[in-house]
Chains A and B, each alone.
Chain A
């Protein structure tokens, strides 16, 4: 059972206070997008063994959504960061690189 640091309220939250929200940094495609774009937006997801960027909500706490950079194989957490970004901040990327040199995830590396 994980603990994740909520970047909003600073609590190391027990997993039972959290809701998992699937993959992070998905770009929304609305009306005007073509079928493939929209299909990928809705359904295509990464399923990595290793570095993954995810959404979590501190549901039983401050209620805020945040992102976590985590290894799905070892459950190592490289860092958490607020959800109001389009890509992981540099310090998170650096933290991942320090532990998993050469990592990549979708367009990020």
Chain B
């Protein structure tokens, strides 16, 4: 059984007991425990079930690389699935549940899959679910969706209770990893004066060294770590953070670090996670190395664990996974585990060393402690289901016969170490294969390149390949100095601290145990624990023709689980290389992609949630609108009232009421969102003549003109009314969505094409609240408020003037997008609400009603006015819309003119704008296509037009629409058919697009 030891546990405080829950059972641990160590102390070795076969799985590692011990953590608004027990710090009241089983962890129906394993080989899903095609959507997808995924997603109605944030940090040298290498590299870099940021993913410093032993400058590693930390903390140019994982390295020295602030104190004030968005001149990756499992049958049974992890549990947390342990290894380091266990009073039955030569000094030490060492041996098979019961031992160089069985309850395995090269590789750093150590390590000649074309990542310590404490520290010193130097600082060259550790003999690569294991054994030898990929699966993929490691990965799902193959990648590609008869470096690795371990979606979003998920732009009248029934419509980031809905009224009733009232009495529109751009300068007229299709330079001061803007492609991009202010100043109105875009468009042409023209522009959109006062009573309400002369004589249609309405300084434009008598009045935004309220109050006797965007649309459609985004879609030229009158023939040039001369732009078969009236008065479906004769090359019916705008007009009491129709203007009176998606055929007559007040009398009074 796994238990807490009487002594040991450098990270726990035995005086502080913590109560927590696992699957409803109350358990106890100590402050400093991880959830994994605490579960082991409570004899809970089995922590979950595997993804595909639902096999019982126990913890196998002690850190971020853990593939098995994933739990659902927390409850309600703080529930989170797939959390690694090994990196979850224990806290009072922690609640956890195991995953991927039904009805419970001990008895799981899904485990039947393991009996069916031979029918679920690599690529099973691809092979099984391909035929017949009609099954894809309604049979296969639901089945796969039901069985896919590990943990349960939080309930969709539950909102995360926590907050998150970003933090932009800048450093000369970022050091990732707070082991002895990271500490030394940070110190070496900081001595140059460089600004150093050092981040460590766990809550404690020193990494593996305090567990692995040895001395640094004569001190125990713990003492040296303490001393170095004290120095770093006292250094002004150094910032250090624990619980902060360097998660990704990107272009130009950009790096992300993921800080877990309150995971261990849920509910504490402040953000839960902080994502550091770092720009560093140089990045030192002191990310250590990860031990590899050995591939033998039953290596996934709970109780089989990485040798280094077992050592961690004993030394750091004072727990042992078993009482009678067998160690299997191909290297000397695992003997440290045997020694640690033995010294902690745990029975170490024997060390099974695959090397016929056995081990070196550490093996001698183990023997001297009375541990039996069996060289040249292998584990043939582990027996046991939910717990290791015994192992069958055989020769390494065989197929697994002549076994000797030994009863035991835990197995420590070590297949050697792989440097953590993820951060080095994220942005293009290349790797080389080290034959002696059987691992990939960073190739110093091919680092990731920064903005200056030079390398910006420097690996340090075990992440760079070195194994012994002495080599690790020396490498870290060199790395720290090199990084400081590359960041533009002069490092103080110093000797690295002297690390002393036991001399280790070379490992012998073992990619399968025993070397020629037969098929039944290979089918139980796991490579990827989380995704249930076995040696036999990779071999099958190779036989089926998968040669690329990237393809094999996807076919077998090796390394595609949440641990991204931290334990399985090297073993998997070595297995593939063997199967293909190639060398490992020839096969290569899969691509390392950020993040290093999963980070929360919350941290990625940062502050952008709830009310600040995205900016909502508000006009000065926004709050009034909100309080008066506005049914909001998003227009860009603006919110505009679609309609003002009265109590007891439906939205469409409101729209119809507003449409009629604007024609009969008095409507008010909050038009503040319309873009307003000032263009000024001696060349402003010339500039605007280029921007607009029509002539703006000859507009008289005091007058307005409707203008069209096209892109250089000839397509309509915006429209609006231009007013000339004075000799060299124009005010250009744009659409709501166009203000920033058109301002940018003008700046672009001004800065990059006609930079010698004397023009300045300024976007004054938000300086004004602009209110359209619309309807037969428009002038009456303004006259009631008093102030400027608003008569037709003073300000005729398409004129404007500055003046006062009531107490308000304003600018009044006699322009109309409704066809009614209409004054658009701009007042300073800070008085916008007051002005609006004054109009509402004064307008009561004239039947005032505010109207929303839908009424605006209907009013303009009744008049046949086009709307950018309805009648245009980025492929429409003004000529398509019958707007030739607004295209100057006098001007030699304007943006879009040349494009509009291209052959397909002048093609008489381009669809043209017409009005459409349904024969029965109903409303045409939006976007419907008109069907023509015959079929196209794909056998589809030919189309001859489409609906661009369609509404019910309350004023005309019928459906009205506009559309683009082949030869439309030549076909007036013809009835064409629009098949609807509802199966009905809508018949509509082609008519003039102006449905209401064709002579335009009403706006010009």
Contact = CB atoms under 8 A, between A and B. Distances in A.
Interface of A: 1-3, 14, 21, 28-33, 35, 38, 42, 55, 57, 59, 63-65, 71, 74-77, 83-84, 99
B250 interface: yes
Nearest to A37: B898
A1 B255 CA distance: 9
Contacts of A65: 747-748, 751-752
B453 A74 contact: yes
Contacts of B449: 74-76
Nearest to B753: A28
A33 B451 contact: no
Given A1-B251, A3-B252, A31-B892, A55 B752 contact: yes
Given A30-B898, A65-B751, 6 more contacts: A1-B250, A31-B892, A42-B713, A71-B453, A76-B451, A99-B453
Interface string B895-911: 00111011100000000
B748 A76 contact: no
Contacts of B451: 2-3, 75-77
B893 A31 contact: yes
19 contacts: A1-B250, A1-B252, A3-B252, A3-B253, A3-B254, A29-B898, A30-B898, A32-B898, A33-B898, A35-B902, A38-B902, A57-B748, A59-B744, A65-B747, A65-B748, A74-B453, A75-B251, A77-B451, A83-B751
A71 B899 CA distance: 32
Chain B, interface size category, equals 20 to 34
B157 interface: no
Contacts of A74: 449, 453
A55 B748 CA distance: 10
Interface string B448-471: 011111000000000000000000
Contact of A2 (B252, B752, B902): B252
Nearest to B749: A28
**7 A-B pairs with least C-beta separation:** A76-B453, A84-B755, A65-B751, A30-B893, A1-B254, A77-B451, A31-B898
B279 interface: yes
Contacts of A33: 898
Contacts of B405: none
Nearest to B279: A3
Interface of B: 250-254, 279, 449-453, 712-713, 744, 747-748, 751-753, 755, 892-893, 897-899, 901-903
Contacts of A77: 451-452
Contacts of B752: 55, 65, 83-84
B748 A38 contact: no
Contacts of A14: 279
Given A3-B451, A74-B449, A99-B453, A84 B251 contact: no
B452 A63 contact: no
A38 B251 contact: no
B453 A84 contact: no
A30 B751 contact: no
Contacts of A2: 251-252, 451
A31 B901 contact: yes
Contact of B897 (A31, A57, A75, A84): A31
A15 to B, nearest CB: 8
B877 to A, nearest CB: 14
Contacts of A35: 902-903
A85 to B, nearest CB: 10
A84 B251 CA distance: 28
Given A28-B753, A55-B752, A84-B755, A42 B252 contact: no
A42 B279 contact: no
A57 B752 CA distance: 11
Given A42-B712, A65-B752, A30 B252 contact: no
A89 B251 CA distance: 26
A89 to B, nearest CB: 15
B898 A64 contact: no
Nearest to B740: A59
A72 B899 CA distance: 31
A49 to B, nearest CB: 14
A61 to B, nearest CB: 13
B899 A42 contact: yes
Contacts of B747: 63, 65
Contacts of A42: 712-713, 899
A30 to B, nearest CB: 5
Nearest to A16: B277
Contacts of A31: 892-893, 897-898, 901
Contacts of B712: 28, 42
Contacts of A59: 744
Contacts of B893: 30-31
B166 to A, nearest CB: 11
B201 to A, nearest CB: 22
A21 B250 contact: no
A28 B279 CA distance: 38
A64 to B, nearest CB: 7
Nearest to B892: A31
Contacts of A63: 747
A21 B250 CA distance: 22
A63 B752 CA distance: 12
A91 to B, nearest CB: 16
A14 B892 CA distance: 41
B446 to A, nearest CB: 11
A64 B751 contact: yes
A76 B251 contact: no
Nearest to A27: B753
Contacts of B901: 31
A107 to B, nearest CB: 19
A3 B897 CA distance: 37
A1 B251 CA distance: 5
Nearest to A76: B453
A63 B897 CA distance: 28
Contacts of A83: 751-752, 755
A10 B450 CA distance: 19
Contacts of A29: 898
A65 B745 CA distance: 12
Nearest to A21: B748
A56 to B, nearest CB: 11
A38 B899 contact: yes
B452 A76 contact: yes
A40 B902 CA distance: 13
Nearest to B690: A30
Contacts of B748: 21, 57, 65
A74 B452 CA distance: 10
